[in-house]
Amino acid sequence: MRRFLSLALLCCLLLGISFAGQAQTDTASRTTNDTAALELLEALDVESYAAKGEAITAILQSDDERARDWLQALLDGRLQRTEDGRFVLVLENRGRDWPVADVLTGEALGEMSRRDLERIGINNNLRNQLRSAIAVVDLYSPNVERRRTSAERLLGEVDGELVPTLDDLIEQEEDEQVRYRLTQAVAIYRAEAGEMAGVEALDGSLHPRSRVALSRAANSDDPVVANAAAASLAGIEQQLKINRGLETLYFGLSLGSVLVLAAIGLAITFGVMGVINMAHGELMMLGAYTTWAMQQLLPGQPGLALILSIPAGFMVAALAGVAIERGVIQFLKGRPLETLLATFGISLILQQLVRTVISPLNRTVITPEWMSGSLVVNDALSLTLNRMYVLGFALVVFAGLMLIMRRTRLGLEVRAVTQNRAMARSMGIRATRVDIMTFALGSGVAGLAGVALSQLTNVGPNLGQNYIIDSFMVVVFGGVGNLWGTLVAGLSLGVINQVLEPWAGAVLAKIIVLVFIILFIQKRPRGLFPQKGRAAEG
């Protein structure tokens, strides 16, 4: 038993000596690393900017895992030194006292007065060198998004020393997007240096930095390189025109989808009841404010609030529409001028009511993360997601209304009343009930238009006024009461506006569109898709 205890004690003693030796080795290694790191940082704290540039290169080549943080802190002005010569990282430079951390260990050191700290100064050349250095460091990151961002930063920033490194990285890189950007970055350097290989590699590239490089290559003393660069630029310019045309078409369709949403409810009420509802824009405003109110009820959840705003906006605007129809319009049937004036008065009342109850100032509706950003097609064309969603939403609403009008009893009765109100009454259709339901449906769709508009612009009391005239133009141009006409007219006018605005201006473009519609109506008084039926002939 004694021998066993003695043997166990001896083993423990040997293990303790081993761990102590390992700890001493780790401590010594850490001390050596920290000493080397301090020497690298000391080289930055000099007067000569050229020497600082050499120190930045040394840090980059040191393989120290903290190198990126040091370089980023130096670029941001957060790498500073205390009065006793200690290097620290400023965590937040606000107020008089700044929280700082040890540059080697990252350990928080509390707060220090900014007067006790001295920033390590850099100039613009060093800033460019730091950005390139950080980008190169990030190219070795396992994070794909960081490598993509890094490769993007290197476009136009590559020098001769980086080319061999980037060539090696291109061969090792697995992500196609990173590899493409790195190849592009090297090609830009070579094209600017007048190399034919760089010009050939940039042929067809739509990135602005590529075009700059090709423009410089087009002024090369080598006629072969200059001609090749000029030919590439000519081909790229043609592609840019096509992309600009596609972008104009996209923005025109997105604007047209807003006009469709704004006008489609008006087309129903105008076609069935013959009512010129000047308060239609304010019903859109109510839908937009409903979206804002839902986000106030559900803070931090803009996506859920937006989804819930779709039925809520429809109901709020529909109920407001029923109140307008029952309170005013039913007493003014057959008197369109008086209806116009009365609904105009209602629009002013609703605007002032919102100003009094909520605020006269615009309100911002938060766009959900899944609607933010854009879909990048290529370097010259990107499609914003919020407009894409609005376009899709407009088509869904249109399809829903078509199903209601074609597949439901309400739709059958609405079409009957639209074509011949007297005949519909004689067949037992209660036209008054149809009027109420139709006005509620049209008003609800206006509320949906407001929900969509809240994702494109600020919400304010005057929101609806910007679309009411355009809505009437869409209805008249497409054909009163015809949903297909409203769709085609809305999208067409949206595209026409976008095509005219760049060279005519926003105001003159609207005037040209208005004149065009007036002339068109002279030839086709019933619009693109006239109503069918006996009443339509009269």
- Of 38 and 322, the one with more pLDDT: 322
Fold (topology level) of 252-365+378-537: ABC transporter involved in vitamin B12 uptake, BtuC (1.10.3470)
Domain-by-domain residue ranges, the chain? Answer: 252-365+378-537
Q: What was the pLDDT predicted at 361? A: 87
Q: What was the pLDDT predicted at 307? A: 93
Answer whether residue 491 shows pLDDT above 80: yes
Q: In 10 A of CB 235, how many CB atoms?
A: 12
Local confidence band at 501 (pLDDT 50, 70, 90 cut-offs): confident
Decide if 423 contacts 245 (C-beta within 8 A). no
Q: What was the pLDDT predicted at 63? A: 67
Q: What was the pLDDT predicted at 32? A: 58
How far, in whole angstroms, is CA 87 from its chain's centroid?
Answer: 40
Answer whether residue 1 shows pLDDT above 80: no
Answer whether residue 431 shows pLDDT above 80: no
- DSSP lists the bridge partners of residue 113 as 97
Local confidence band at 317 (pLDDT 50, 70, 90 cut-offs): very high
Share of the chain above pLDDT 70, in %: 91
Q: In 10 A of CB 512, how many CB atoms?
A: 14
84 — phi, psi (to 5°)?
A: -90, 10
Q: What was the pLDDT predicted at 531? A: 62
Tell me the CA end-to-end span of the chain in Å, nearest whole number. 120
Local confidence band at 535 (pLDDT 50, 70, 90 cut-offs): very low
Residue 212's SS3 state is helix
Decide if 397 contacts 264 (C-beta within 8 A). yes
- If you average pLDDT over each of 54-68, 115-129, 365-379, 387-401, which comes out highest? 387-401
Local confidence band at 33 (pLDDT 50, 70, 90 cut-offs): low
pLDDT, tens only, 376-387: 888 888 889 999
- If you average pLDDT over each of 14-23, 395-404, 478-487, which comes out highest? 395-404
Q: What predicted TM-score, i.e. pTM, was given to this entire model?
A: 0.74
Answer whether residue 31 shows pLDDT above 70: no
Residue 460's identity, in one-letter code, is: G
- Of 234 and 434, the one with more pLDDT: 234
Locate 373 and state its tokens: 């950003």
